[in-house]
Structures are given as C-alpha cells and as structure tokens.
Amino acid sequence: MSDEEHQFESKADAGASKTYPQQAGTIRKNGYIVIKARPCKVVEVSTSKTGKHGHAKCHFFAIDIFNGKKLEDIVPSSHNCGVPHVNRTDYQLIDISEDGFVSLLTENGNTKDDLRLPTDESLLSQIKDGFADGKDLVAIVMSAMGEEQICALKDIGPKN
C-alpha cells in the first residue's frame, strides 16, 4: 500500500442524468417529454394502429416549458423517449436588480441571485408592480435539463 494521499476533484453535479427513459406508449397528456433536446409538456397524444409491417406510432404535440414554442414528434409506441426531470420550487422574492436579475430567498435562508426576470410580459409586470407595491411575493421556479425560469408568482400579503 502506498502512503501518499489521493486528491479527488469535487464536482457540484452528482452525475445524475437530466432525463430518464420512458416507453412512448405510456406518456400521456400533461406529462413531459424531450423533443429536439428541449423539455416540453405534452398537450395532445394520438396513437395510430399498427400497419401491415410496423409499429403503432405515437404523435406528440407539446409546448416547450421555458419558451412556449409548439413542437411535435412521432415515435413508435414501443420505443423509449427521453422524459426530463422537472422540479418546481418556491422562493421568496427579496430584490430586483437593475440588470434584470432577481434575488430570491431559499428554504434554508441562503440567497439565489442567478435567475433572470421572465420574458413573459404579463408575469414580468406582475413581479415589478407587486414588488413596487411592497407585497410579499413568492416566485415559483421551474427547472429542467439544467435550465431554470420563473414560471408563476404567488402573493402572500403585504410586507410587515
């Protein structure tokens, strides 16, 4: 045995995959799917019957959860599709900086300062107006495949 110490490079990522496989035939409406390397929410699924020589096919209509673009894909129902790990987290809004970033309070009392204001006009005005009025706001942040974005807002009353 050697007496030397081994140094290991630590990474913040646990090595977990951003997606997991799921059979196309089991993915339903309001589920999630990866289409063209984008995490999407399924709005409609239609399944065709098997042909003379083939598989039943699933036709997915989905909306990108971050930019709202409509995407579609056709996959044989017995094949696997990528399904993103989607998380929703609530953070209390502390501050809005001039450069378009928000300061959020996490569950354990730390601050999260790496999120931009959303591009959706109505949500953006809701955040800015509520913050200017001095309301206590909770930002609901959706994260999937290494991306994060504020997707909704809750008003928990006026600040004390």
pLDDT for 152? 87
Going by pLDDT thresholds of 50, 70 and 90, the confidence category of residue 11 is very low
| pLDDT grade for 34, boundaries at 50, 70 and 90 | very high
* pLDDT, position 97: 85
Judged on CB neighbours under 10 Å (0-12, 13-18, 19+), 7 is: exposed
Closest listed residue to residue 64, CA positions, set 139, 127, 151: 151
Return the percentage of the chain with pLDDT > 90, whole number: 38
At residue 14, does pLDDT exceed 70? no
| Mean pLDDT of the residues in the chain | 85
Confidence of residue 82 (pLDDT cuts 50, 70, 90): very high
What are the pLDDT digits (tens) for 89-146? 999 988 888 888 888 988 888 888 888 888 888 888 888 888 888 888 898 999 999 8
